[in-house]
Amino acid sequence: MEDERTLEMLKVGLGEDNYRKLAKIDNPELHQFIATYVELCKPDSVFVCADSEEEIHDIRQEAIRTGEEMELAIAGHTVHFDGYHDQARDKENTKFLLPDGVDLGSDINAMERLEGLKEIHDILRDIMAGHQLYVRFYCLGPFKSEFSIPAVQLTDSSYVAHSEDLLYRPGYLEFVRLGKSARFLKFVHSAGALDSRKTSMNIAKRRVYIDLEDEVVYSVNTQYGGNSIGLKKLAMRPAINRASKEGWLTEHMFIMGVRGPHGRITYFAGAFPSLCGKTATSMLQGETIVGDDIAYLKKKEGVIRAVNPEKGIFGIIQGVNSRDDPIIWKALHSPGDVIFSNVLVTEEKGVYWIGKDGGVPRTGFNHSGEWQLGKKEGKGNEILPSHPNARFTLDMKFLENVDSELDNPEGVVIKGIIYGGRDSDTKVPVEESFDWVHGVITMGAALESETTAATLGKEGVRKINPMSNLDFLSIPLGKYIENHLKFGTGLKNPPRIFSVNYFLRDSAGNFMNDKNDKAVWLKWMERRSHKEVEAIKTPTGLIPKYEDLEKLFRAVLNKEYTEEDYIKQFTLRVAENLAKIDRVKEFYETKVSDTPQAVFTVLEEQRQRLIMVQENYGNYVSPFKLS
Ligand code: SPV
Ligand code: MN
């Protein structure tokens, strides 16, 4: 029975129009949730959005009117700034609220549930005074799909609501359709008090708290998308937890279609830590994109199928240029709904970011305020024109390479899984695992990457980041790996597992590959998944043969690929690989209490294979010696 008091509160507090929209959704738990946070946060007004075009348009206009976004010269483009110290995900203040007796392991940031709930509710009290609260409904995944999860977002930021309209499918009608049966995720966000530049000012009280029990995520005193756009990384945590209970996977993976001969399209899912080329890979010209960041994967009748819970991209803009990223480039230069964040705005209301074609403007406006070339911050460091984690947000319907299966409620069949990291000295550019278990362990669980500007903290430090999902895990790591191992069982033809490394350097520190070489690695993986090319067995996996790459480089990039290139890039670095195994083993021995035994067994087998090769050939072994 619906509580009369809740309904009365909603009717009086929200007004007739808003009340009617909510009453159409037959779900007392939802009504209760909204009533609770309206009462606690005390917004000046509430706007329940039923997803009409007009309502969605009004929210965008509101973002401009309030100053959270500013219009740019190209029609439909706006810019948003986050505070100077609010430019990335805040790992330190992102915590799981766990009841007594629940332990997710030492690598997962957590605090006692009731204490955390009290703290966050104290911060939320009256926090929306002077602001409007938006009540938004979204559908994570295609409509009417058994993959999908409905979600409700409460936020006082029109920028967050506007971003979510570009990134997620509207969910009001799904809530009406599902009524009481909706098992939805809940998000409460407040940007908190804003300064004159409309950026969150109480950064010391920035918090992202995740309550798995009630599936609520709270985010306060922050605007940066990774902390505030509830349906993105905040939703991943409860979704990983659900997936674990129900036998499927929520992954930090793109989904893309790679074209093969005769119009064939083969779908791959790829996990890369942030700022390691994930979006750029999924956007490659000539291929098709289903998603650039998150995937829900399920086993169905002996195959793995996946959907993208998102429909837009919140992508890194640094380095985007007309030669390497022609499709994004075009979308970012055409009229249409695009939000730029933390870029440099020029006097002509254009935007500049690091690595864009053309020269660096001498003056402009950026996340530090008025900016001129050479401007320094307090500690004397130069402020770059745009932040390395500056982003663009757009709906994938603007992209010419969007895959026609994006909204298929059944998802697409995944034939290959790719793990990539930022690794300057160990792994070859592309390699296939011997089998599912070997891939999950040596390529997924052992994934290492150098830290980047996507999270607050020091850059360039090598860290282990299993499946590139460590930041988002809501279950113990050992259990998570066990889930992956099990996921590959009972399949007719498990997807092949590959690793890629776009960041290998020579001894002088130069990158050994061109940005576009990834197009070739993808084609090679596509051919492998159809058993059309052979491979060379090495102690760490299966690598391409020179003659296949030579042909593919010519066909795909019209580039000459010499034996010398091949030897340099695919030389097995034995000592580095052994050191990596030691690091990974130590991590799983000392930091993870529930590591599956298979992790140690498979790593040890790999170590033995490496030692044998080392005895015969030394520390640097040309691929020709292994063929
Ligand atoms: C990432 O950092 O992996 C992103 C952007 O995709 S964020 O929303 O910040 O997580
Ligand atoms: Mn991501």
Report how far ligand 1's centroid is from the alpha carbon of 233 (Å).
7
Q: For 27-80, how does the pLDDT look when each residue is reduced to its tens digit (9 = 90+)? A: 999 999 999 999 999 999 999 999 999 999 999 999 999 999 999 999 999 999
Report how far ligand 1's centroid is from the alpha carbon of 288 (Å).
21
* Whether pLDDT at 457 is above 90: no
**Catalytic position from the list 41, 49, 139, 276:** 276
pLDDT score, position 481: 98
Which atom of ligand 1 is found nearest the CA of 293?
Answer: 6
pLDDT score, position 532: 98
Phi, psi of 481 (to 5 degrees): -70, -40
User: Looking up tokens 């000539």, which residue turns up?
Assistant: 286
The residue contributing the CA closest to ligand 1 atom 5 is: 226
pLDDT score, position 132: 97
- Rounded to whole angstroms, the Cα distance separating 269 from 256 reads 7
Question: Is 139 a residue of the active site?
Answer: no
Environment class of residue 83 by beta-carbon count within 10 Å: exposed (0-12), middle (13-18) or buried (19+)? buried
pLDDT score, position 203: 96
The residue contributing the CA closest to ligand 1 atom 4 is: 274
The residue contributing the CA closest to ligand 1 atom 1 is: 274
Which atom of ligand 1 is found nearest the CA of 252?
Answer: 3
- Rounded to whole angstroms, the Cα distance separating 83 from 435 reads 46
Q: For 148-172, how does the pLDDT look when each residue is reduced to its tens digit (9 = 90+)? A: 999 999 999 999 999 999 999 999 9
pLDDT score, position 537: 98
pLDDT score, position 7: 86
Report how far ligand 2's centroid is from the alpha carbon of 609 (Å).
34
Mean pLDDT of the chain: 96
Residue with the larger pLDDT of the pair 169 and 324: 169
* Whether pLDDT at 1 is above 70: no
Q: Please tell me the number of the ligand nearest to residue 315's CA.
A: 1
Q: In the chain, what percentage of residues exceed pLDDT 90? A: 93
- Rounded to whole angstroms, the Cα distance separating 498 from 320 reads 26
Does residue 238 sit in helix, strand or coil? helix
Report how far ligand 2's centroid is from the alpha carbon of 253 (Å).
8
Show the tokens assigned to 77: 């483009």
Burial 102-121 (b: 16+ CB within 10 A, else e): eebbeebebeebeebbebbb
Q: Please tell me the number of the ligand nearest to residue 226's CA.
A: 1
Which has the closest alpha carbon to 288: 320, 312, 255?
255
The residue contributing the CA closest to ligand 1 atom 3 is: 274
Which atom of ligand 1 is found nearest the CA of 232?
Answer: 8
Which atom of ligand 1 is found nearest the CA of 88?
Answer: 9
Does residue 462 sit in helix, strand or coil? strand
The residue contributing the CA closest to ligand 1 atom 10 is: 226
Note the pTM of the prediction, 2 decimals.
Answer: 0.96
pLDDT score, position 231: 96
Burial 177-212 (b: 16+ CB within 10 A, else e): ebeeebebbbbbbbbbebeeebbbbbbebbbbbbbb
Which has the closest alpha carbon to 31: 139, 182, 213, 190?
182
What is the pLDDT confidence band of residue 536, given thresholds at 50, 70 and 90?
very high
Which atom of ligand 1 is found nearest the CA of 224?
Answer: 9
Per the CB < 8 A criterion, the answer to whether 477 and 592 are in contact is yes
- Rounded to whole angstroms, the Cα distance separating 347 from 363 reads 8
Which atom of ligand 1 is found nearest the CA of 225?
Answer: 8
The DSSP element (H or E) to which 305 belongs, if any, is strand 303-307
- Rounded to whole angstroms, the Cα distance separating 571 from 196 reads 55
| Mutate which of 208, 233, 283, 459 for ligand 1 pocket (most atoms within 8 A of beta carbon) | 233
Report how far ligand 2's centroid is from the alpha carbon of 254 (Å).
9
Q: For 577-591, how does the pLDDT look when each residue is reduced to its tens digit (9 = 90+)? A: 999 999 999 999 999
The residue contributing the CA closest to ligand 1 atom 9 is: 226
* Whether pLDDT at 106 is above 90: no
What is the pLDDT confidence band of residue 116, given thresholds at 50, 70 and 90?
very high
* Whether pLDDT at 88 is above 90: yes
| Mutate which of 228, 236, 274 for ligand 1 pocket (most atoms within 8 A of beta carbon) | 274
Q: For 593-613, how does the pLDDT look when each residue is reduced to its tens digit (9 = 90+)? A: 999 999 999 999 999 999 999
Q: For 484-525, how does the pLDDT look when each residue is reduced to its tens digit (9 = 90+)? A: 999 999 998 999 999 999 999 998 989 999 999 999 999 999
Report how far ligand 2's centroid is from the alpha carbon of 252 (Å).
6
| Beta strand 303-307 pairing with 295-300 | antiparallel
Q: Please tell me the number of the ligand nearest to residue 449's CA.
A: 1
- Rounded to whole angstroms, the Cα distance separating 241 from 488 reads 19
Pocket of ligand 1 (CB under 6 A): 89, 225-226, 232-233, 274, 293, 314, 454
Which has the closest alpha carbon to 319: 468, 70, 166, 503?
503
Mean pLDDT of all residues in 391-414: 97
Cα distances from 18 to residues 2, 136, 410, 613, in angstroms, run: 18, 12, 34, 70
pLDDT score, position 487: 98
The residue contributing the CA closest to ligand 1 atom 8 is: 226
Per the CB < 8 A criterion, the answer to whether 438 and 602 are in contact is yes
The residue contributing the CA closest to ligand 1 atom 2 is: 274
What ranges make up the beta strands (E) of 358-420? 363-366, 369-372, 391-395, 412-420
Q: For 279-316, how does the pLDDT look when each residue is reduced to its tens digit (9 = 90+)? A: 999 999 999 999 999 999 999 999 999 999 999 999 99
Cα distances from 461 to residues 4, 501, 502, 591, in angstroms, run: 56, 16, 17, 18
- Rounded to whole angstroms, the Cα distance separating 346 from 348 reads 5
Mean pLDDT of all residues in 419-429: 95
Report how far ligand 2's centroid is from the alpha carbon of 571 (Å).
31
Query: Can you list the domains of the chain with their CATH numbers?
Result: 4-68+89-247 (3.40.449.10), 250-313+406-626 (3.90.228.20), 314-398 (2.170.8.10)
Report how far ligand 2's centroid is from the alpha carbon of 469 (Å).
9
Q: Please tell me the number of the ligand nearest to residue 454's CA.
A: 1
Which atom of ligand 1 is found nearest the CA of 391?
Answer: 5
Q: Output the CA angle 362-368-372, nearest 5 degrees.
A: 15
Cα distances from 30 to residues 170, 220, 242, in angstroms, run: 17, 21, 19
Q: Please tell me the number of the ligand nearest to residue 232's CA.
A: 1
What is the pLDDT confidence band of residue 264, given thresholds at 50, 70 and 90?
very high
